[in-house]
Amino acid sequence: MALYRAMTSAEAPAANLREIAELSHAWPFEEARKIVARLKKKPKDEVIFETGYGPSGLPHIGTFGEVARTTMVRHAFRVLTDDKIKTRLIAFSDDMDGLRKVPDNIPNKEMVAQHLGKPLTKVPDPFGTHDSFAAHNNARLRAFLDQFGFDYEFMSSTACYTAGRFDEALLKVLSRFVEVMNIMIPSLREERAETYSPFLPISPRTGIVLQVPVVAHDAKAGTITYEDPDIKERIVTPVTGGRCKLQWKPDWAMRWVALGVDYEMAGKDLIDSVKLSSQICRALGGSPPEGFNYELFLDENGQKISKSKGNGLTIEEWLRYASPESLSLFMYREPKAAKRLYFDVIPRHVDEYLQFLDAYPRQGPKEQLGNPVWHIHGGTPPKADNPVPFAMLLSLVTASNAENAETLWGFIGRYRPGVTPQSHPHLARLVEYAIHYFRDFVQPAKKFREPSPGERAALIDLRDALSQLQAESPAEAIQDVVYEVGRREPFLDPKKKGKDGKPGVALDWFNMLYQVLLGQDKGPRFGSFVAAYGIVNTIDMIDGALARSA
């Protein structure tokens, strides 16, 4: 028993914790320090964080990721300021945007197609459950964010425009019409520049968001004049009260000014847009928010995930196969690196989350503030209590073709006596995840590799060696046997040394076992797997593989 241990971040005095946070290299603290520096230049009583959502498609994991990451920065900021400055997180929906195209992944496409060009809040809900398409998608977003317990304030673009919340800022854009045009025009193609206007009037006849040139503007009257493209008449309309909306780059800048946004991150594909909106924000007398550009998520083919295409993983799909915490870990890690967001990344993130959680109590405050679980759980991670890795559960399901949790719990009871669904509810959830993942992904793609003659001989030797062990042999004893049988060509690794100083065993030996016996490329420590699955069952499995390749 240790006589002393490092003080944890939970036990560290607030002042000490802040001092450690000020030097932390964890990216949320690096981002939060930008906001602290911003406040030193322009002090204010409240800091506004914002995330944006375009409800033209169903919410996807990328949408969640932006809220999760922003929440991590927000918490880091609260630590750096001893929680003395009020903060708000606005989840903003651009639901007044015109519907440009019909998404691929919705029902009733023909009905929706009849409303192209209208604000999303004026497009009927193809799912038939809400007043509009935007209302449906906004509800989906809020339900998911609520499920995760995020502290946020939902805000609708349509509500802000029509209720007059943006009126003052819109009039400011109108008064700086020429400056805004001078910023935007150089970024546009020639034909687009000829007809561009930062203001998009909403047609009182059709309800469509019109992409038309402004032929006159009157800052004092607060109006613009445009020509109706259908009836060829000039129309004068106020820019306030929801009668117009802005093109999205001026809109973004106007919103930063109107809401006083201090921090907003954006995808790498929006780098140029952030620059333009920042210029417009300054032209309006505002200060662009702090933030950074995160890399995009890619689907299985390396293509950018799109909410309208519906490629990649949905929120519901990840949560069918893994815990919410594992998804948060995926979001935390390397936000500036492009990452594949597909089903095969799930198991690794489940186990790595559990490993980080297990390591947390043994770390000092500095290491804890760099541990992802500190950021995932807002500084108070739960106690680690998971005796069986997810990779082990998947291998057990694969080996046994388990169709129910009872079968899997039989193996778990052998490996960890006394562990039950009642004593370990988190493990019970992992068992269900593992069964779902096996049924949907492992089983349909399961392919057993035939062993080579040399591998076949090694499998026979492994079977014979295992048969000499006691049925209840511990995992370490089994691993020693597996290791010794594998100490032969072509599995020797001269760069490694065993405990006895003899040449080590390459990963190819263990990979072969999983490929030939289980039809999968990798798995948990093989000795631990055998201890859980049972020596007799493993011998039968080896015999089955030998029979398949006879």
Query: Which of 49-63, 301-315, 335-349 is predicted least confidently?
Result: 301-315
Whether residue 277 contacts residue 25, with contact meaning beta carbons closer than 8 Å, is answered with no
The residue whose two tokens read 């209302």 is 135
Q: Which residues contact 154 (CB under 8 A, 6 or more apart)?
A: 90, 91, 93, 138, 141, 142
pLDDT greater at residue 84 or residue 495: 84
Whether residue 214 contacts residue 226, with contact meaning beta carbons closer than 8 Å, is answered with yes
Q: In what order do the strands lie in the sheet with 223-227?
A: 214-218, 223-227, 234-238
Percent helix, strand, coil in the chain, to 5, is: 50, 10, 40
Query: Residue 126 phi/psi, 5° resolution?
Result: -65, -20
Q: Each residue of 85-95: pLDDT tens digit?
A: 999 999 999 99
Q: What is the mean pLDDT of the chain?
A: 92
Of 485, 482, 463, 480, nearest to 536 by C-alpha is 463
pLDDT at 402: 79
pLDDT band at 14 (very low <50, low <70, confident <90, very high): low
E strand or H helix at 245, and its extent?
A: strand 244-246
Average of per-residue pLDDT across 229-248:
97
pLDDT band at 307 (very low <50, low <70, confident <90, very high): low
Would you call 164 helix, strand, or coil by DSSP?
coil
pLDDT band at 127 (very low <50, low <70, confident <90, very high): very high
Structure-block tokens of residue 264: 């907003």
Q: Each residue of 131-185: pLDDT tens digit?
A: 999 999 999 889 878 988 999 999 999 999 999 999 999 999 999 999 999 999 9
Of 33, 129, 136, 140, nearest to 81 by C-alpha is 33
Q: Of all residues in the chain, what percent carry a pLDDT higher than 90? A: 80
Whether residue 65 contacts residue 331, with contact meaning beta carbons closer than 8 Å, is answered with yes
Domain regions of the chain by residue span: 390-442, 453-548
CA distance 549 to 455: 11
Q: Each residue of 194-208: pLDDT tens digit?
A: 999 999 999 999 999
Query: Residue 484 phi/psi, 5° resolution?
Result: -70, -40
State which amino acid sits at residue 475.
A
CATH no., domain 453-548: 1.10.10
Q: Each residue of 356-395: pLDDT tens digit?
A: 999 999 999 999 999 999 999 999 999 998 999 999 999 9
Angle at 200 between CA 288 and CA 270, to 5 degrees: 40
pLDDT at 6: 37
| β-strand pairing of 244-246 with 261-263 | unpaired
The residue whose two tokens read 């489940």 is 350
| List of E strands, 300-423 | 339-340
pLDDT of residue 318 exceeding 50, the answer is: yes
Whether residue 354 contacts residue 389, with contact meaning beta carbons closer than 8 Å, is answered with yes
Whether residue 374 contacts residue 9, with contact meaning beta carbons closer than 8 Å, is answered with yes
The residue whose two tokens read 């201890």 is 531
Whether residue 530 contacts residue 514, with contact meaning beta carbons closer than 8 Å, is answered with no
What count of Cα atoms within 13 Å lies in the side-chain half-sphere of residue 479?
12
CA distance 541 to 62: 41
CA distance 200 to 245: 5
Q: Each residue of 502-515: pLDDT tens digit?
A: 788 999 999 999 99
pLDDT at 3: 29
pLDDT at 90: 98
Centroid of chain to Cα 314: 10
CA distance 442 to 447: 9
Whether residue 244 contacts residue 237, with contact meaning beta carbons closer than 8 Å, is answered with yes
pLDDT at 190: 94
pLDDT of residue 5 exceeding 60, the answer is: no
Buried b (16+ CB within 10 A) or exposed e, 282-298: ebbebbbbbbbbbebbb
| List of E strands, 386-540 | 492-497, 503-505
pLDDT band at 308 (very low <50, low <70, confident <90, very high): low
Query: Residue 298 phi/psi, 5° resolution?
Result: -115, 150
pLDDT band at 535 (very low <50, low <70, confident <90, very high): very high
DSSP 334: -
> pTM to 2 decimals?
0.89
pLDDT band at 310 (very low <50, low <70, confident <90, very high): low
Q: Each residue of 455-473: pLDDT tens digit?
A: 999 999 999 999 999 999 9
Query: Which of 262-276, 363-377, 494-508, 510-524 is predicted least confidently?
Result: 494-508
